[in-house]
Structure 1
């Protein structure tokens, strides 16, 4: 079901006005008015004011704390209006509540603290009725500022989650693209073996294919695996290819012990080895060699897959199908710019695919 912008806005609103943020509001609200009263008292003390004035300050802070609460619930109601409407309604609300607050202050001052200074006429109680408006306007500005800041945080969190989900979906798609590509080649070879009555060989290939696919399905394409585990998976894969090519395929491993603990994207080597077999072994009557190496170099892990086939410019281009492009895209999705993927010629012939990724042993 598709979601609208209004649905997302309501979700953000429910999060902003949730139980946790209720507690957060009361904490900030009480601390703010307490600070206001403390600053007022310090100012009065430094100015040499009456010691009884603290009662007035306590009343002023307490009524401010109380009268600003309705503003909060009013601002919730107008939250989804246009900016101009919010500004207008906020100004009117501050004016109305500020007048009530100032009137209460005046009555308390003259009726309770200093009745001998009380004005003779009721009109005297209405002096400076808008003096409290700037304080409430500042309270409102802080309220909206904190809310908008929190809303931006929530929207950024949702955007990051969406980007992360998209990245994971992309990685899964890239990884799963390899299975049909590999399956086509292997099943085609099995079909050929069946046609020429080499059933035992075909059966070994089917068994090897089942083992390799089981490993592929059991490993999350998003997670990385130790290089040692990747090597074992490639040995299963190469066992299938050994059935196809017999002694025409010679594999040479050179993986350092320290490198085996490094984390690599699962099945990252498979398309590179398949590419080397396709161009370095299958196309040559006498077959060929494949060299697979891995070593740590400082803070990096260096991987290389080489063959002694025709090499670049001799039947093999720098864009040799889905395997290399897919691998490069997976690395870029996982590591951003912190990787290297290069092709280099071997002497006297052949091609080497070189990978450099960060050496990491923990996710």
Structure 2
């Protein structure tokens, strides 16, 4: 007694995913439970009859009645499947007449078997006894139909819920990939322009080194799965590929300072989370000043959270108010990397993260992120 498979027309659920069983497995489960259920009804009725003084040969009557119920509810199953798209309350009303007919057929089977003198001692004393017997079987059939309806409705709701969750997950992944793969065209333009200048100046060794660095960074950027997390060490190694390119462009004008607590190295975070923040700092703090500037990356653990900061010693963000919220004039058309990073964290961690921007009192700009402190499973490292 189990619901049938409700499979969408376009894409059936994957049984390997451990969610809703496939049509074949659901059908096989139905037959096992259907046969087992009616077998259980037969055994319960038989032992109950023996306890109430019925003769041992009474099993012939009960077996015939159980077979009638088995076949009758099997037909009821197909009627229920045909009405599967209707509201459960309406289906219940439509099943009243078929349920009464099945119970009557079971009562008729009872009479026919006893009339064949297989068990003359099993005859009821009055016609009213036949009527009460049919009513008793009606309860069994109604119970079967009710259980079938409940389980089938539950299964439909479960499949609808899983379909909605799958759609949400796909939208979630698409959003993350969109945010993750938004490479800044200014970075590519400036890098290619710097390579062109080096070639024109016949500084082939430096140009070749810069091309190799750009190739390594782009390969890492495109190969990294935006749905997977990396350790802080892996993240900083990737940032190192990016900074090697920028150091070729800016030479001594770019100074990098990395401070990481030892306990933070294995912490997990989204891949290339820091790159747009470092790129943003170079764009606004280093590239626009003749003397260049310093880019700092900080990582500390605070209880169950990882606190990451990207700071610079540039002019800061004009128009940023005292609580770290940009005014309309300051936010319009600028700092896209900040917005993308903030959105990635919001999608991935929800309320468990925080993202703050502020102008530093000693000069410069700071971005501070707080996210759950997780480390990779040691068995998979």
Superposition TM-score, scaled by structure 2 size? 0.80
Residue 245 of structure 1, CA deviation: 1.3
Structure 2 vs 1, CA of residues 241 and 18 (structure 1 numbering), >3 Å: closer, same or farther? same
| 1:50 equivalent in alignment to 2:54 | yes
**Cα shift readout 1:145-165 (whole Å, capped 9, x = no counterpart):** 111111222222222222222
Q: Give the equivalent residue in structure 2 for 1:276.
A: 281
**Cα shift readout 1:161-216 (whole Å, capped 9, x = no counterpart):** 22222211211111111254532343344455566776654443322211211111
Q: Give the equivalent residue in structure 2 for 1:333.
A: 347
Q: Give the equivalent residue in structure 2 for 1:3.
A: none
Pairwise CA RMSD: 3.4
Moved more, 339-348 or 186-195: 186-195
SS at match of 1:225: strand
Structure 2 vs 1, CA of residues 9 and 134 (structure 1 numbering), >3 Å: closer, same or farther? farther
Moved more, 53-62 or 279-288: 53-62
Residue 66 of structure 1, CA deviation: 3.4
Structure 1: which 5+ runs fail to align? Answer: 1-5
Instruction: Count matched residues.
Output: 355
Structure 2: which 5+ runs fail to align? Answer: 1-5, 15-19
| Matching of residues 251-330 of structure 1 within 5 Å | 251-313=256-318, 318=326, 319=331, 320-330=334-344
Structure 2 vs 1, CA of residues 209 and 233 (structure 1 numbering), >3 Å: closer, same or farther? same
Q: Give the equivalent residue in structure 1 for 2:76.
A: 71
Contact conserved, 1:102 with 1:128, CA < 8 A, in 2? no
Alpha-carbon distance between aligned partners in 1 of 2:219 and 2:10, rounded to the nearest angstrom: 44
Residue 103 of structure 1, CA deviation: 1.1
| Matching of residues 142-291 of structure 1 within 5 Å | 142-178=147-183, 180=185, 182-191=187-196, 201-291=206-296
**Cα shift readout 1:1-41 (whole Å, capped 9, x = no counterpart):** xxxxx993676699777221122212332343344345545
SS at match of 1:8: coil
Residue 240 of structure 1, CA deviation: 0.9
| Equivalent in 107, 116, 120 of residue 114 of structure 1 | 120
Alpha-carbon distance between aligned partners in 1 of 2:165 and 2:357, rounded to the nearest angstrom: 34
Alpha-carbon distance between aligned partners in 1 of 2:80 and 2:12, rounded to the nearest angstrom: 15
